[in-house]
Structure 1
Amino acid sequence: MSVAPDVIVLASRIHTLDPGRPQATAVAVRDGLITAVGDEAEARHWRGPGTEVVDLGDATVVPGLVDGHSHPVLGLDLATGTDLSGVRDLDGLRTALAGAERIDGWILGWGLDHNAFGGHPVHRDILEAALGPDTPVFIRLYDGHSALASGAALRAAGVTGARSFAQRATVVCDPDGIPTGHLIEHAAMDLVVAVMPRRPFAERRDALHALLSDMAASGLTGAHVMDAAGDVLDLLCAVEERHGQVPLRLRLHPWCMPGIDKDGLDELVALQATAGRNWLVGGVKFFIDGTVEGGSAWLEHPDCHGQSRDALWLDPADYTAAVHHLHAAGVRTATHAIGDAGVRHVLDTVAALGADARMRHRIEHIETLPYEQAARFAELGVIASMQPTHSAYTRADHTDEWSTRVGAERARRAWICRTLRDTGVVLALGSDWPIARFDAREILAYAQLRRHPGTDITPVCPEQALTPLMALEGYTTHAAIAAGEAHRAGRIARGLRADLTAFALDPLITPSDDIAQSPVPLTMSNGRITHRA
């Protein structure tokens, strides 16, 4: 080695995931890149007078973990107020509301499980009975695509009845045309969000840095961020100005929503490659549908309520035209598609692009899918991006809201991670934070167990469990392919970006229930140590 490295990392085991050298015990880093991979004896010759040696002892080092689908900036706003993710029924909701903190006179909450309503309609009566008719309340349901607002909140936003939108969104009303408070999809929720209190910019900047630091401490070195609206880029620049670097390598995907015109599409193209020290805009996010629980997914056959029959785009052909426009400009796309009809339409859209579309477009979530459609992912080179812990909102006996809506047959083909992998599909894994916890260790374990680690809950579709290696690849090599970065990330090899995650326990041999509790002694993103125990 002609130039001494900045850092040498030593560990008992380094799983490089590089076929050229699968195992090592030493890795050298300089100027953000890996300059050598070898053993401790070789490392003695790499060291220079200014080299820092980090000896992790019996730890195991793997390529840096990358969350394939996250919302760290948008999520700070979504996860404002009282965390309701632990509420299991309406009595629990009443108790939580009674102790909720008020923010500028409002009560805000997030993460409420649809199952808490026990099959009853989502209605503002529960809010007003607990807090009175004059308290503005806005509660986001866990899916992130629906919310419950009190009458006072609706009045503050001037919402007195049904609305029409450029996308398929709904202000749910009773037979008399009076809003029930249930708001489905972003356009409907944004009516109230526009008048809600928001934290000051500086407070949000510091909260973002703290959140990303917590993510780094859990082993994450990067994330595919599926939004970039509002002041997101300004916040990232402000974090860099104050702290030097964003703790995680972030790849942002601004939204392309129904109603966009050619000028809007060209603006998305122009945003590509906008970058900071450890982040860049590198793709565009679409929504072809919403969620099963909200009745806004796009299913081949309606759900048990006769809902989930349509795309989010009023004319799905407009979605297809937008994807083709961006593809022609060289932009990678990621499309939220929950239902089987939604997934089919995205696959049809990519199929029409031709052979040069392979590995350039991806589908997010994929909650229920016929097995014959799974084969099309591999045939077309479409990347699957899935969040295994989302299935934790369902139950193995199909008595939950999601399973009841789709029916037993579709519930049996829920989150078919293993089928997709066995078919040869690239499968990136992630959290969709704040929809689910961001801790990659928990998701690695859940992907293998199909239940939360450390519990005796009956697994959901256990035949879809991944092997330890498959799960790890979902956060490393497959995440890199999904970002178009297989030539510069995802493995530990000379010349690649120095993203490293160290576990106290070996994720390839440790029992799945235990890996979720493994300490993380070191995280390195882009050659910079972002966490050290």
Structure 2
Amino acid sequence: MRTSLVLLSARLLDPVAGGFLPETALAVSDGRITALGDDRSVRALAGPSATVLDLKGAVVTPGLVDGHIHPASGADMTHGLDLSGCTDVPQVRAALVAAVRDLSPGAWLHGWGLDPNVFGEGPVGITPFDAVLDGVPALLRLFDAHSLLASRRALELAGVDGPRSFDQATAEVVCDAAGRPTGLLLEEAAGELVERVAPQPSRAERLERLAAALDVMAAAGLTGGHVMDAGGDSVELYRELDEAGRLPLRLRVAPWCQPGTGAEGVRALIERQGTGGRLWRIAGVKIFMDGTIDNGTAWLEQPDCHGESRDAFWPDPEEYSRVVGALHRAGVPTATHAIGDAAVRHALDAVERAQADVAAAVRHRIEHIETVPDDTLRRFAALGVVASMQPTHCCDFTRADHTDNWSRRLGEPRASRAWRCRDLLDSGATVVLGSDWPIAPYPPLGVMAGARHRRPTRDLSRAPHGPEQALTALEALRGVTASAAHAAGEEREAGRIALGHRADLTVLAADPLTVPATELADVQVLATVLAGDLTHRSATL
């Protein structure tokens, strides 16, 4: 084997060992770690073509992995006007005024990242922006990506002038008492009514947007992601980038299974498993059990304060359970989007029934888990179900005083059971951390920091939401390394620094275990290594 990369004078931080290894250097051959030792012995392994980096005491961790991310759809969604920094209606209105001023006649305005908290206690709708968007076709995506605001002109062009019926139980064209659309479109099926009449970027444009997004993710320290969708031609885009040597992240892709998929559709999902390329593959199936609390489409055991969030995403939840059973029998892991307590409980019930039917070693997951009662916690460990969570959703979209939309809808005590990372971990569950980008920012150090401080990233002086649910620095690191590897069934080759493991590595300027949580997001990423190749290298290295 020819050594391709040597890292010297490094502090090798292994999250499984729980600290730094005694070795100070490592060598890579054929994409794997093939030597660990002192600088002198490992340097001797470097041939004339090897890249040798003296890290001067920098910290090397296993490659950081985002446990829940949407690269292709995120690259599509995040073009246009970024509204994520707006905190009230006047700020949104001012941003729209500036954007409309630069629009060509007849052009569509696209916005993203809109926080429903900007509306305060008022209804979420397009009315506050009617004057600004008069005659302008506009689509403003709310931050949760489960809802859109469409301008009057956009609704007109799409022929949407009243309520509609959908196979997705929680999808809705929200209308006022007179039956007139308010502009709010809930869930994918409703949003597609307007999105399909809007101009679409070319495939080449979408490919370059995706490549650019993945490159900056690598620069932020990511070496991989658990991709929770395979819509449209996204798999073909990954394939093209991989074959061209332009894929800087290792991607594990879970296609969706929607209501009405049917037995043939489920068989097709099973047949796709394991297909892929050098750095990506289809592994698992993503299923929705509900929507979101913020837009009233979660599935709660008791309705929210508006009488909403009462229904499952699947019109017949038992059909979902049958699908989980069929996938389990085939050895296919599932990742269920379950935000509300009723959705989480039903997902756990479905896995328990599947395991009782066939004792197969399949690692199922539940995504989000935003609020759950005490009696749910220990079931994760008992069933071996991975808890996949996004702590920055709690940090950035809720408030410690529960005056935010999410908390107001839930009321006490449910709002006090927010993102129970600590309780799940203490109950024995494997907790994987992610961003759910484009819902929240993807930099993994920010995700780790949020799991520790639970404060709004825009204002770290504010009180934390549920500080008792914070993770330690080591637990947060494990959430994007060793736990992510376990969730993927890859703990024997990923998630730690060890001989024979993949050479997916992240090089940091400081120790993430000792940097204060409020400063962690600002630590410099010096280098990112994927399968032994540098996908990012700082100019200072």
Q: Same fold (TM over 0.5)?
A: yes
Partner of 2:192: 190
* Conserved 8 A contact 2:11-2:57: yes
* Conserved 8 A contact 2:16-2:482: no
Q: Which amino acid aligns with 1:345?
A: H
> What are the equivalent positions in structure 2 for 1:88-103 lying under 5 Å apart?
88-100=87-99, 101-102=102-103
**Aligned partners of 2:118, 2:18: CA distance in 1, in Å?**
51
Of the candidates 379, 387, 391, which is equivalent to residue 388 of structure 1?
391
SS of structure 1 residue aligned to 2:320: helix
> What are the equivalent positions in structure 2 for 1:163-202 lying under 5 Å apart?
163-168=164-169, 169-202=171-204
* Conserved 8 A contact 1:146-1:189: yes
* Conserved 8 A contact 1:64-1:524: yes
Q: Which amino acid aligns with 1:344?
A: R
Partner of 1:367: 370
> Does 2:517 correspond to 1:518?
no
SS of structure 2 residue aligned to 1:478: helix
Partner of 1:418: 422
C-alpha displacement at 1:18, in angstroms?
Answer: 4.4
Q: Which consecutive unaligned segments of at least 5 residues does structure 2 have?
A: none
SS of structure 2 residue aligned to 1:86: coil
**Aligned partners of 1:172, 1:48: CA distance in 2, in Å?**
65
SS of structure 2 residue aligned to 1:6: strand
Change (3 A) 1:312 1:112: same
1:307-327 Cα shifts (integer Å, max 9, x gaps): 111100001001111111111
> What are the equivalent positions in structure 2 for 1:477-492 lying under 5 Å apart?
477-492=482-497
Partner of 1:379: 382
Partner of 1:465: 470
C-alpha displacement at 1:126, in angstroms?
Answer: 2.2
C-alpha displacement at 1:371, in angstroms?
Answer: 1.9
Partner of 2:3: 5
SS of structure 1 residue aligned to 2:387: strand
Partner of 1:494: 499
SS of structure 2 residue aligned to 1:140: strand
SS of structure 2 residue aligned to 1:310: coil
Q: Which amino acid aligns with 2:380?
A: F
C-alpha displacement at 1:442, in angstroms?
Answer: 1.0
* Conserved 8 A contact 1:83-1:111: yes
C-alpha displacement at 1:359, in angstroms?
Answer: 5.5
Partner of 1:227: 229
C-alpha displacement at 1:489, in angstroms?
Answer: 0.8
Compare 483-492 and 98-107 and name the one that shifted more: 98-107
C-alpha displacement at 1:45, in angstroms?
Answer: 3.9
1:177-204 Cα shifts (integer Å, max 9, x gaps): 2211111111111111111122211111
Q: Which amino acid aligns with 1:85?
A: S
SS of structure 1 residue aligned to 2:10: strand
Q: Which amino acid aligns with 2:298?
A: A
Change (3 A) 1:102 1:233: farther
**Aligned partners of 2:183, 2:351: CA distance in 1, in Å?**
38
Of the candidates 402, 408, 413, which is equivalent to residue 398 of structure 1?
402
* Conserved 8 A contact 2:28-2:532: yes
Compare 170-179 and 335-344 and name the one that shifted more: 170-179
SS of structure 2 residue aligned to 1:481: helix
SS of structure 1 residue aligned to 2:393: helix
Partner of 1:445: 449
> Does 2:56 correspond to 1:57?
yes
**Aligned partners of 2:137, 2:190: CA distance in 1, in Å?**
16
Q: Which amino acid aligns with 1:369?
A: V
1:315-356 Cα shifts (integer Å, max 9, x gaps): 100111111111122211101000000000000001112274
Partner of 2:113: 111
1:61-102 Cα shifts (integer Å, max 9, x gaps): 000000000011011122121000011111111101101154
C-alpha displacement at 1:129, in angstroms?
Answer: 1.7
> What are the equivalent positions in structure 2 for 1:269-288 lying under 5 Å apart?
269-288=270-289
SS of structure 2 residue aligned to 1:373: helix
Partner of 1:130: 132
SS of structure 1 residue aligned to 2:132: helix
C-alpha displacement at 1:514, in angstroms?
Answer: 1.8
> Does 2:205 correspond to 1:206?
no
Change (3 A) 1:313 1:458: same
Q: Which amino acid aligns with 2:210?
A: L
User: How many pairs align?
Assistant: 529
1:288-319 Cα shifts (integer Å, max 9, x gaps): 00000111000111100111111000010011
C-alpha displacement at 1:268, in angstroms?
Answer: 1.1
Change (3 A) 1:4 1:107: closer
1:469-520 Cα shifts (integer Å, max 9, x gaps): 0000000000011111112211111111110001000001111122211111
C-alpha displacement at 1:48, in angstroms?
Answer: 3.1
Question: Which runs of 4 or more aligned residues in structure 1 lie more than 6 Å from their structure 2 counterparts after TM superposition?
Answer: none
**Aligned partners of 2:4, 2:109: CA distance in 1, in Å?**
50
**TM-score, normalization by structure 2:** 0.95
**Aligned partners of 1:41, 1:124: CA distance in 2, in Å?**
66
SS of structure 1 residue aligned to 2:440: coil
Q: Which consecutive unaligned segments of at least 5 residues does structure 1 have?
A: none
Partner of 1:69: 68
SS of structure 2 residue aligned to 1:389: helix
C-alpha displacement at 1:529, in angstroms?
Answer: 1.0
* Conserved 8 A contact 2:31-2:502: yes
Q: What's the C-alpha RMSD, in Å, of the aligned pairs?
A: 1.6
Change (3 A) 1:118 1:73: same
Change (3 A) 1:526 1:375: same
SS of structure 1 residue aligned to 2:117: helix
Q: Which amino acid aligns with 2:118?
A: A
C-alpha displacement at 1:20, in angstroms?
Answer: 11
* Conserved 8 A contact 1:228-1:255: yes
**TM-score, normalization by structure 1:** 0.96
C-alpha displacement at 1:165, in angstroms?
Answer: 1.0
> Does 2:35 correspond to 1:36?
yes
* Conserved 8 A contact 1:11-1:61: no
* Conserved 8 A contact 1:18-1:493: no
* Conserved 8 A contact 1:284-1:334: yes
**Aligned partners of 1:186, 1:78: CA distance in 2, in Å?**
13
